[in-house]
Chain A
Amino acid sequence: MRQPRTCPYPTPSPEQGWVIALVLVVLAVTLGLTLASASMVLFHMKSSRAYSRIVQNAFLSTRDGRELSHRLSLLDAPEGWDHIHFSTELIDVGIEDIRTYSWRVAVREPYRGIPRHDLAPSQRPHILVIVDDSVSMNASSGHDYRDESLYLRSDAGGIVHVSDCSEVPDTHACPEGIYFSGRWGNSNERAAAMNGLYGAMPTWALAFSRARSLIDSLDQCEIAVMSGSRGLIHHFTGNWGETMQALDALHPTSSRASLAETLYQASAIFPEPCVSGRHILLVTAGISVNDGHLPAWLRDYDHDDNPDDIAFDGEGSHCLDDVSAYARSLGIAVHVMGPDTDFLRDVASKGGGRFMPGRDDLTPEGTTVTVPLMIRPDLSLVLSNSRACLHPTWLSAETGMHGRLNVMNPWELLPCPDLPVSGTAFTIAPDSSSDCLYVSTSRDRIIRIDLSKRDISWLLKDLGGALYIRGDLLLSGPDRQGIITCISRDPHPVWRQQGTCMDASDSIAYVGTGSTVQAHTLADGFLVFAFDTNHRITIVRYDPVTGTIMAGTADGLLYLFDQALELTGIIDTGMNEAILDISSFTMRKTTHILALGRTCLAGCTLNDLQWTASLDPGEPMGMAVMDGRAYVSVWTGEPPCLGMETGTTVLHEFDVLTGERFGSEVLCAGAAFGPSLDLDHAFMKFVSASGEILDKDISSLLGIQPCPLGKKLIRQLE
């Protein structure tokens, strides 16, 4: 049975032809609309994709699982920044094939300032050392040698104590004399008994050695040297080397010991200004010979009615305690070092001094600073000196090895626990790779401080001077003996060389000695190149960017060499004074050099002098070249004492290309040390002699903040 079809929308005609036609029309219209829509969608998709690409290129996105990566490269110093002390930190940030670059300046090697030996407070102790150099000093001190100590009998005469620890079993002969152990000395080097004293050790070994050790540890004092036989040998000086040289020239060989007369003369030698305390250190056996020829009123000054308070041509005069009392009346303290006798104790007592004094009896009180700040990421460390001895307040412990060079083999170190820290801070060399700090002192000590533990890791005696870290090696020098020493981090001496100044590349040490510049291999110290300038070399600098070796002379010449010490140029800076510091930098691909003298700053290229600028009278303390500007700090101390806390330090700012002075500003009262750079906080820091920290904002210098260097699309347009 046929069912009729029902439809809500009936066709105009029930015939099949109409239906087909209508369906086709509807399909055609639908197809057309679909194609038109698809075309528009495609167009918009392409536009969106292009826009998306533009936006993607403009911003870095970590969507789609892509990871942001950072790369950090250290390159040579940026344009206008000192080659030696700065490097460029190139920051490369990106995702896969889109990289953005920026740079900022980084510290390559902290500035160490211009090391100075002559800094002292304006009011400083004056100490006159009177050494009894008569043969009676060879008599017994009443003490035996210490069994474990080391002594030296010098060829010129006299036995001195060298160290509390001995590497010599019995004796060891060398050019200086004969080293022997105390144990051996007690049997074989016995001093003659005298005045009831019977010990094996002579008075010279006891008193002179201790006095020498005491003088060796004193800093920021003026010291003069007299002998009982020859009178004044060296006038008051702050030069430690000269003082020690004068002491070391004394030997107990004289037949004369005019102790009271010498003490009387000494009481009139002290100067008036710049003196905080007057001290006489009398080193004697207490036996006067040919003495007492004094004014009559002085012979019994203490009114003790001693019948021996008269002049004697031989032994016997007893005027020493009287003159000591007289010196006390003049405000001079008389300290005594010698055998423990009532007479000598009486001399010290009447002189208002001490028998066998220590450091604290003579050194100046107070705290001073003598080196730039040590910049840490979160704080600045001040290396302060207390009582003229390095004693940073932040140092918590001293647990490491103390040692000195072995007298039998100078390439070995001998652990010697009793060696103290001595002298004020001289230079510093931070080592960021091991988070430690190397400090040398004015008394030839090198100290390694572990900054994380605030602990002294090790201390070496008889090594000092400027410090340079090169790879696994530490270069120090010149020390008091004019020796430059290369030390491994163990520590262990690697090689030693005579020199007056130095710098080093990663493989070669360049040493100035007299008028000669020498190149030694860093690993073993072999001499590989040398050049004689015929002018006294005062400073050597190695430029790590150009590989140029720059040597400044005492008469203002600048010698330029390649790394094989082939002369590449000589520049007359016209200063006619010693070059104290050298900086090199690049501007527009041209290497420029700044030479700093005491009164002048000179700018030159590798070929010729460009300009000179005079500095205000004073002492240059430091120079830094940053962003095309030279910052020179000059300290002007107040005469006559030129104390480090007097006067002012002024910071001058120069244009490095023209020498034009942009400005000057007073940093602080007294001497200031630095600059130390805190780049994270955009400060140039100085520290005054009294420990005050001074900040100068350098955030405006190009390179302190990250500077954009553009973007690179490694993926290219499709």
Chain B
Amino acid sequence: MGKGMSLVELLIALACSSILVLALYHFNRISAASHHGMRCTWYCMQSLRTATLQLNSDLAQGACLLPQDIKIRVEGNQLFISGIPVTSQHPGVSVSSHAPPPYYSLVISSDARGLILDTTDIDGDGRPDFWADLGMITDTSPCVISHSYARGDSRVAILTDMIPVQGDRAVPAIHYELKPDGLYRNNQLLAEAVILFQPRISGHTLTISMRARYHETTKDMSLSYPIP
């Protein structure tokens, strides 16, 4: 009792403590770096996962009760999947009490400013099925409904290079487009980390290549869907 530590003991204790602290510091650095990397990967994957899930859901429901031959269209890096998206204001396409599917509108007339449809309620449930920023697939070409379009108006302003012609069938479509700040669905940001979105149709297969990037982390994903 009361003897105290010798100098040698103290030095050894300090050395051991230093080694332990240094080890813990390195462990912490490695953990932080690993966590950062995982977080970037997680962020990329989260974007890709969100995009994949939404694409899968939209493709699974593509052309539900609509003409099957105009199910999917690709225009550059834009993807159009026919269908009425379910929103808080619209339950999606529904079966009519008497009219048989497939449901569609007919283009009555068209010009550079837009087109006139025979009806905007394709399934006859009393709800307009076209609205602003939604996509549209016609026999001639896919297009995007202008942001200025008022729901229910039979005259539909569209953004397209190829104007649909009279007699074309027209169905609402979900529109995917890559913008500088991410992948957009019906003009709403869906996946902000996505920096590459390349849909391609080859034969009876739709292939979608996506790339997400966050800081220095890059993740690629390629999806393939059969087109009947």
User: B residues within 8 A CB of A708?
Assistant: 68, 228
Q: Which of A75-83, A453-461, A569-577 interfaces with chain B?
A: A75-83
* B20 lies within 8 A of chain A by Cβ: yes
Which of A53-61, A430-438, A500-508, A620-628 is found at the contact surface with chain B? A53-61
Contact A711 B20 (CB under 8 A): no
| Interface membership of A245, Cβ < 8 A | no
Check if A710 sits within 8 Å of B63, measured CB to CB.
Answer: yes
Question: Which of B49, B93, B95 gathers most chain A CB within 10 Å?
Answer: B95
Q: Mark B103-139, 1 if CB is under 8 A from A, else 0.
A: 0001000000000001000000000000000000000
Q: Are A710 and B65 in contact (CB under 8 A)?
A: yes
Whether B100 lies near A25 (C-beta < 8 A) is no
Contact with A along B61-75 (1 / 0, CB 8 A): 111111010000000
Check A713–B60 contact: CB distance below 8 A: yes
In the bound complex, CA of A189 to CA of B40 (Å): 116
- Over the window 62-74 of chain A, the binary record of Cβ atoms lying under 8 Å from chain B Cβ atoms (1 yes, 0 no) is 0000000000010
Instruction: Determine if B57 and A57 form an interchain contact, defined as CB atoms under 8 angstroms apart.
Output: yes
Contact of B99 among A76, A588, A712 (CB under 8 A): A76
CB pair B99–A101 under 8 Å, yes or no, is no
* Residues in B neighbouring A28, C-beta threshold 8 A: 24
- Asked if B101 and A101 make an inter-chain contact with CB atoms under 8 angstroms apart, the answer reads yes
- Interface check B217, CB cutoff 8 A: no
The interface bits of chain B over 24-64 (1 if a CB of A lies within 8 angstroms of the residue's CB, else 0) are 10010001000000100010010001001110110011111
User: Count of chain A residues with Cβ under 8 Å from any Cβ of B?
Assistant: 34
Contact A101 B65 (CB under 8 A): yes
The docked-state distance in angstroms from the alpha carbon of A101 to that of B167 is 26
Given contacts A101-B101, A710-B66, A710-B68, contact A92 B95 (CB under 8 A): yes
Q: Bound complex: CA of A212 vs CA of B98, how far in Å? A: 52
Contact indicator A75/B96 (Cβ below 8 Å): yes
B93 near A717: Cβ-Cβ < 8 Å: no
Q: In whole angstroms, how far apart are the Cα atoms of A330 and B42 in the complex?
A: 109
Interface string of A680-718 (1 = CB under 8 A from B): 000000000000000000000000000111111100110
- B20→A25 contact, CB < 8 A: yes
* Interface presence of A103 (CB below 8 A): yes
A712 in complex: contacting residue of B61, B96, B102, CB < 8 Å: B61
**Complex formed: what's the CA distance from A101 to B66 in Å?**
11
From B57, B66, B96, B102, give the contact of A713 (CB < 8 A): B57
Task: Using A73-B95, A75-B99, A76-B98 as known contacts, say yes or no to A54 and B65 having CB atoms under 8 A apart.
Answer: no
Contacts of B45 in A (CB 8 A): 47
Say which residue of A32, A47, A76, A92 sits within 8 Å of B31 (CB atoms): A32
Taking the nearest CB of chain A, how far is it from the CB of B1, in angstroms? Answer: 13
Q: Report the minimal beta-carbon distance from B65 to chain A, rounded to whole angstroms.
A: 5
Contacting residues, chain A, for B63 (C-beta < 8 A): 709-710
- The distance in angstroms between the C-alpha atoms of A712 and B62, with both chains bound, is 9
With A and B bound together, what is the CA distance between A39 and B64 in angstroms? 39
> Knowing A101-B101, A589-B118, A713-B61 touch, does A54 contact B53 (C-beta < 8 A)?
yes
Query: Which residues A73-129 have CB closer than 8 A to chain B?
Result: 73, 75-79, 88, 90, 92, 101, 103
Query: In the complex, what residue of chain B is closest to A102 when comparing beta carbons?
Result: B101
When A and B form their complex, which 10 residue pairs have the shortest distance between CB atoms, in order from nearest? Answer: A710-B64, A88-B100, A75-B100, A712-B64, A710-B63, A57-B60, A54-B56, A78-B100, A709-B65, A709-B101
Ordered by A's residue number, 12 sampled pairs between the chains whose C-beta atoms are within 8 Å are A46-B49, A47-B45, A50-B53, A54-B53, A75-B100, A76-B98, A79-B100, A589-B118, A707-B68, A708-B228, A709-B63, A716-B86
Interfacial residues, chain A to chain B (CB-CB below 8 A):
25, 28, 32, 39, 43, 46-47, 50, 53-54, 57-58, 73, 75-79, 88, 90, 92, 101, 103, 588-589, 707-713, 716-717
- Please give the residue numbers on chain B whose beta carbons come within 8 Å of chain A beta carbons, in ascending order: 20, 24, 27, 31, 38, 42, 45, 49, 52-54, 56-57, 60-66, 68, 83, 86, 92-93, 95-96, 98-102, 106, 118, 167, 169, 228
Q: Apart from A39-B38, A710-B62, what 11 extra A-B contacts exist at CB < 8 Å?
A: A43-B42, A54-B56, A57-B57, A58-B60, A75-B100, A77-B100, A709-B63, A710-B66, A712-B61, A712-B93, A713-B60
